[in-house]
Amino acid sequence: MTLTWNTAALLFFLVYSAGYLSARWLYLRTDISQTPRSPESIDDEAILTEYRAGRRIDALRLYRTRYLCGLKEAQAGLQALVKAADRS
């Protein structure tokens, strides 16, 4: 089977279009709010807000970003932060 110029151009167009549409679909599905934040821009109130909203994993992620610590330290620190805030 020989490939004519028209067939090759059509194939190229279909493959290019499929790639473009799938990349655009992935881009539109991406949640921009999940972009990394600088540690200075995160305060304890933002961490507590996430925790109290039931998003504990996001609260841990923010705590780890803010205080540059590991998971175990973040869990202990987050619990201490919540207890300190509840006492106030």
* Residue 69 near residue 75, CB atoms below 8 Å: no
How many CB atoms lie under 10 A from the CB of residue 85?
14
Handedness of CA 52, 54, 56, 61 (dihedral sign): negative
The residue ranges of every structural domain in the chain are 1-30, 33-88
pLDDT in tens, the chain (88 residues): 677 888 889 999 999 999 999 998 888 887 666 666 788 889 999 999 999 999 999 999 999 999 999 999 999 999 999 999 999 7
